[in-house]
Amino acid sequence: MYEGAVQDLIDELGRLPGVGPKSAQRIAFHVLAADPADVRRLVDALTEVKARVRFCAVCGNVAQEEQCRICRDPRRQASVICVVEEPKDVVAIERTREFRGRYHVLGGAINPIAGVGPDDLRIKDLMTRLADGTVTEVILATDPNVEGEATATYLARLLVPMGLTVSRLASGLPVGGDLEYADEVTLGRAFEGRRRINA
């Protein structure tokens, strides 16, 4: 639609996740109208993140050193590992300030339709981490969707025979939600995970 460099920029922006053609066009024209110093900062940030950021050698979280800050922290419980799909899930759990253990990032979820099997994830790395007997509990915090459930089920079948305490994050009704809008699976999970109230 546009000439050379503008169309190239729109095409590249359109390849980003969650950015459709209209959004890519809007961002491209914002960049064109932006101050050159702002554009330079964006370019520098992109270049620096590719040059300096890597994945933690232990857990797979994003890190600027060999290990991420969580794996380096001696105050974290080494006996409990929370298994998540992506580094962004670590951030979500950390915001709660409820978990004081360590993490293992799988790098995705089992999804046969997309051609992602167990061997494409960091499951072997997890098994290696568990081999020395330090870890006694594994919390499966994969997404509550078909792929996340398949991954959690697969991991549970591997981990339970090892004598570990294996648990899954509870799921159910969101705070502020209405029962009438909850789907059957969510409502069913809410019933399974119900808690006794002590007066």
Give per-residue pLDDT as tens, 43-55: 999 999 999 999 9
In this prediction, residue 127 carries a pLDDT of 96
- What pLDDT digit, counting tens, does each position of 157-166 carry? 999 999 999 9
- Between vectors from CA 82 to CA 81 and to CA 88, what angle results, nearest 5°? 135
CA distance 116 to 19: 23
Q: Is the pLDDT reported for residue 75 higher than 90? A: yes
**Rounded mean pLDDT of 134-141?**
95
Structural contact between residues 106 and 124, judged by C-beta atoms closer than 8 angstroms = no
Q: Is the pLDDT reported for residue 170 higher than 90? A: no
Q: Is the pLDDT reported for residue 130 higher than 70? A: yes
Name the amino acid, one letter, at 160: V
Whose tokens are 């890519």? That residue is: 24
Q: Strands 80-84, 62-63: parallel, antiparallel or unpaired by DSSP?
A: unpaired
Give the alpha-carbon dihedral of 33, 35, 39, 45, to 10 degrees: -140
3-state secondary structure of 137: strand
CA distance 135 to 20: 43
Whose tokens are 């305490």? That residue is: 165
Q: What is the pTM assigned to this prediction?
A: 0.81
Structural contact between residues 75 and 101, judged by C-beta atoms closer than 8 angstroms = no
Structural contact between residues 129 and 78, judged by C-beta atoms closer than 8 angstroms = no
Structural contact between residues 61 and 55, judged by C-beta atoms closer than 8 angstroms = yes
Give the pair of three-digit tokens for residue 14.
């359109």
Q: Is the pLDDT reported for residue 185 higher than 70? A: yes
Structural contact between residues 169 and 140, judged by C-beta atoms closer than 8 angstroms = yes
CA distance 41 to 45: 6
Query: Average pLDDT of the chain?
Result: 91
What number of other Cβ atoms are within 10 A of residue 141's Cβ? 22
Backbone angles phi, psi at 85, to 5 degrees: -80, -45
CA distance 105 to 82: 9
